[in-house]
Amino acid sequence: MASLFQRRRSKATQTERVRERRHEGFLRYANFRWAKISGGLCLLIIVSYALIDVTPRPNGGSWYGYTLGTIGAGLILWLTALGYRKRKMTSDHWSLKAWTSAHVYLGLSLIVIGTWHTGFQLGWNVHTLAWVLMMLVILSGLYGVVVYSTLPAALSNNRDEMTQMQMLEAIRAFDRQLHAAAQPLTPQDTAPVLAALDEDPFAGGIMARLSGRYPDCATAAALRALGASRSSDAGAREKVVGLLSQKEVALARLRQHLRIRALLEIWLYVHVPLTFALIAALSAHIVSVFFYW
């Protein structure tokens, strides 16, 4: 395994700075270094579990169980530290990509470490609660890995070189033009347009945000209403309808943007709180184990 640890840190002290020169994602980082390490660890555990005959039976309380438990608890705490590492811009040489890579693969190895630590003894108690929470955290993390590797391209395609601010600005520009263009309309036609102008592009709640479906969209409603209306001057109405459909396209882009971003972020609202619940349950698990030593 020594070759896996050809550290670049010694190089970093040389005059040439260590920089990332190629686009290499966190999953492939350093030729799957952390996948290999964590895979090797899992294999080691599975094989040794089969070979070592713990008496009276495999159990979290045996010496072997304690070993796995200590490794697992340590790992959980270290994995949690990613949240701190990510935000703490110290000046020494580290790569958040390497941390993410290790986080993902070592996190996955906890499935084996944690489960084999139990000796497959699960029940309705605080110990199993910690195990269940851990599995849920890993599951939500898996979702994160999947969306991180599939959604960015869609996000990029949808925004088409526009920034979120520009998308909002585009909608506001249509609003201003609509405001001017709607002046000649009859009050009956003006009402839906005004409702469309009042619409907050961010409104709609979490379900709308995640699904991208906005059945109560005031712009769509105004388009329908004006399409069916015969009351105002046809030319003026046509202009407003044109602007409304342009706004609808702009809105659709923004909503798709927000949807993908939400999908990329939503899991963190599960992953992180569950991690803290896990740490609480883990503490209870450890304290109770030693209390009943």
Partner 1 sequence: MTEPVKVAIIGSGPAGLSAASRAGQLGLSHVLLEKTDHLSDTIFKYQKGKRVLATPERLDLRSDCRFAEGAREYILGNWDEDAVNNKVNVVKHAEVTAVTGQKGAFEIKTAKGDVYHAETIVLAIGTQGNPNRMRCEGADLPHIIYQVDDPEDFKDKHITVVGSGDAGIENALGVAEEALENTVTILNRSKDFARAKAKNVSDMMEAGENGLISIRTETQPKLVEPGWLTLETPTGDEKIPCDVIVARLGSVAPRGFVESMGIEFTGPDREAFPKLSPTFESTVPGIFVIGALAGYPLIKHCMNQGYDVVEFINGNKNLTPADEKDLAAIFANLPQKKSVSEWLDYLRERVRIFADVSPLQMREFMLDSKVAYYRKGDVVFEKGEPGSSLFAIADGHAEVEVGPGITVPIEQGSIFGEVGLISGRKRGATIRAGADSIFVEVSRTAALKLMAAVPGAKRVINRISLERQLLQIFKGGLTVEDLAPVVDAAEVERVPAGKVVLTEGEQGDDVYVIRSGSMVVEKDIGGKPIFLRYLPAGSFFGEMGVLSGQPRNATVKAAVGAELIKLTGESFRRMLAARPQVREATEAAVAERAQMNNFIESRKATYSSAVDLYSDTASFIMKEGLGEATDALLIDENLCVGCDNCEKACADSHEGLSRLDREAGKTFAHLHVPTSCRHCEHPHCMADCPPNVIHRGPDGEVFMEPGCIGCGNCMRNCPYGVIRMEAAPPPKPGLLRWLLTGFGPGPGEPSPKWTKKQLGDEKPKKIAVKCDMCKGIAGGPACVRACPTGAAIRVSPEEFLSIARLQEDAG
Helix H or strand E segment including 19: none
CB of 285 vs partner 1, minimal distance in Å: 24
Which residues, 1 to 30, sit near partner 1 by CB under 8 A?
12, 17-26, 29
Q: How far is the CB of 44 from partner 1 (least distance, A)?
A: 28
CB of 269 to partner 1, least distance (A): 14
- Segment interacting with partner 1, rule: CB under 8 A, options 57-65, 148-156, 204-212, 239-247: 148-156
What is the nearest approach in angstroms of partner 1 to the Cβ of residue 173? 5
**Closest distance to partner 1 from the beta carbon of 193 (Å):** 16
Stretch near partner 1 under the rule CB under 8 A, chosen from 51-59, 66-74, 88-96, 278-286? 88-96
**103 or 285, CB closer to partner 1?**
103
Q: Is 87 in the site for partner 1 (CB under 8 A)?
A: yes
Residues 24, 142 contacting (CB under 8 angstroms):
no
Q: CB of 67 within 8 A of CB of 45?
A: no
Tokens of 124: 């309705």
Does 48 interact with partner 1 (rule: CB under 8 A)? no
Q: Structure tokens of 130?
A: 């910690």
Q: Using CB under 8 A as the criterion, what x/- string covers residues 149-188 for binding partner 1?
A: --xxx-xx--xxx-xxx-------x--xx-xx--------
Q: How far apart are CA 109 and CA 38, in angstroms?
A: 6
Q: What SS3 state is found at 123?
A: coil
CB neighbour list of residue 7: distance below 8 Å, 6 or more residues apart:
none
Contact in structure between 137 and 271 (CB atoms under 8 Å): yes
Which long-range CB contacts under 8 A does 234-242 form with residues at least 24 apart?
236/181, 236/184, 236/185, 237/185, 237/189, 239/181, 240/178, 240/181, 240/182, 240/185, 240/189, 240/193
In the region spanning residues 202 to 261, those forming contacts with partner 1, defined by CB under 8 A, are: 261
Identify which of residues 160 and 198 has a Cβ nearer to partner 1 in the complex. 160
Cα 152 from Cα 158, distance rounded (Å): 10
Considering only residues 10, 31, 90, 183, which one is a binding residue for partner 1 as defined by CB under 8 A? 90
Q: Is 89 near partner 1 (CB under 8 A)?
A: yes
Q: Give CA torsion, residues 16, 19, 22, 25, to 10 deg.
A: 150
Residues 6+ away with beta carbon under 8 Å from 207? none
Site string for partner 1, 95-134 (x = CB under 8 A): xxx-xx----------------------------------
| Total number of residues that touch partner 1 (CB under 8 A) | 47
Separation CA 212–CA 260 (nearest Å) = 9
Interface residues with partner 1 (CB under 8 A) are 12, 17-26, 29, 83-84, 86-97, 99-100, 148, 151-153, 155-156, 159-161, 163-165, 173, 176-177, 179-180, 261, 264
